[in-house]
């Protein structure tokens, strides 16, 4: 019997600027400290885009002009999940923000 396991990577929200660079995400949480969930994340500038969170030991590609051009094109569909730049996943380091499983 062949059993295949699929582990979905966590995703988070990033703000993608027109040139492909990343800008800060603003997340608003609930009114109580007992509930640690973050509810809403917005992009004051840039386009809201989903991006995978780097796995343990994984390092995102170096931030440079070539990566910005790639992100601008790859993120046109609203997601960077599954996209690879120079044979590396286009992931972001965990920031303590909201992580979701697709």
Q: Output the pLDDT for position 6.
A: 43
Q: Output the pLDDT for position 1.
A: 42
Q: Output the pLDDT for position 84.
A: 94
pLDDT digits (tens, 9 = 90+) for 19-32: 999 999 988 776 66
Calpha distance 61→84 (Å, rounded): 9
Question: Across the 102 residues of the chain, what is the mean pLDDT of every consecutive 10-residue run?
Answer: 50 93 85 64 92 90 94 94 93 68 48
Q: Output the pLDDT for position 78.
A: 94
pLDDT digits (tens, 9 = 90+) for 9-21: 688 899 999 999 9
Pairing mode of beta strands 22-23, 84-85: unpaired
Token pair in block for residue 60: 């995102």
- E strand or H helix at 70: helix 65-74
Residues, the chain, total?
102
Calpha distance 75→97 (Å, rounded): 20
Token pair in block for residue 23: 């800008």
Q: Output the pLDDT for position 71.
A: 95
């Amino acid at each position: 019997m062949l059993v295949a396991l699929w582990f979905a990577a966590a995703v988070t929200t990033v703000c993608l600027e027109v040139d492909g660079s990343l800008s800060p995400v603003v997340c608003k949480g609930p009114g109580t400290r007992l509930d640690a969930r973050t509810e809403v994340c917005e992009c004051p500038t840039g386009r809201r885009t989903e991006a995978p969170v780097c796995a343990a030991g994984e390092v995102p590609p170096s931030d440079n002009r070539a990566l910005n051009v790639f992100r601008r094109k790859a993120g046109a569909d609203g997601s960077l999940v599954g996209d690879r730049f120079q044979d590396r996943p286009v992931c972001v380091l965990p920031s303590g923000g909201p992580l979701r499983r697709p």
